[in-house]
Structure 1
Amino acid sequence: MSSLVFAQQEQTDKATKATDEFAARFFDEANIRDYIAKVDTLIEQAESTVFASSEEMKDKIPGITTANGIKIAYSIRSNPDVGEVHHVSISRTPQYLATAFGTNLVGLFAERTGFVFPPAAYEVSQNNVYHAIWLVPVATLTEDKAAITQRREKNRKLEDPKKIFINAVKNGVTLQKQSKGAASKPANASPTTRKKQG
């Protein structure tokens, strides 16, 4: 029995050490550059793979994995009667991803897509997956997409990776404040008109 307890403790210690090392290097410039490049690539992939239904999305949702093991998936579902649903999910499964890191990456995603912040819906699942959804209503689809493109172009003129990530962190702080105490519920808000919440 003692050998089993020792083995379990050794495994726990290794996992703790790996988590500590991950946290210590999360903000390294090399990692920040990797986050930005991978998110930009993911956005391009998702925008060229718009789905018409949930059934169509099965096993086809575009996704990337960062150099330090963070998994990000992004899907776009378009309905001619409703509009577009943009869903990003972020995790480090099977390892834990701290709230600050998860929300920072949701914030980075918003910066690189051109969506306003916070998203229309946000929650963290029991499996420690960060989910954020932006809605583009059909009634304002053309205007909203033009505004998103304009905001994206403006955001991407900033080339310093550290400054880009500072904006992402600010978004992350906003999201943490909004969701403190309870997960936010979906709201009818487009990614260009939803006001920031402090």
Structure 2
Amino acid sequence: MNKRIIVSSVIAGLIVFIWTNISFMLLPFHQMILFSFKDEGTLGAVLKANVDHPGVYVLPSPNFGSKDGQKRTKEEKKAAWLESQEKIRRGPFVFVSIHPNGKEPFMAKTMLYAFLMNVLAAYIFSWLLMKANLVNYWEQVNFVALAALAGGVISHLPNLIWWGFPTNYTLLALIDLIIGWFLGGMVIAKVIKK
């Protein structure tokens, strides 16, 4: 394995990890778009009473295929579809990951996984950059930032489109990626010189 790729991956991964932590913990933008519920205790009890296992839940439920284990007819599926559309219009509409019995915070473990994720992404970007025919430093930096943006578009825009994630939340996620990987790209381009 090329030593330059490993070095660039670890350093760039660390830079992006640091940027992400600065963005989330020190800058006010994420706190401005993440909200709290009015009564967490009551809502938590309702969720716990209605959720059997950890997973991603949608309200209203989009289950059109069967009801109580029985396959639905074409007419029943159409009626269920129309009913769900009306429920979505009325609200609330929810798309959420729930852990009904709690979850260990594992802040150190979570931070380690986030760092390793960034190192893996930096490794992929380093490898791609070595294969690209770019000689100018800033072209290489922009290549990494645009590759990260492409990944962000693929991963964040579906949540905006399908699940109604707020535009400001999605834009902030994309801006975080661009800034973080522009900084990471500066390291990668410097280490992966051709």
Compute the TM-score of the two structures, normalised by the length of structure 1.
Answer: 0.30
- Structure 1 or 2: larger helix share? 2
**Structure of greater Rg:** 2
Larger RCO, structures 1/2 (Cα 8 Å, 6+ apart): 2
Structure with bigger strand share is 1
- TM-score, normalised by the number of residues in structure 2: 0.30
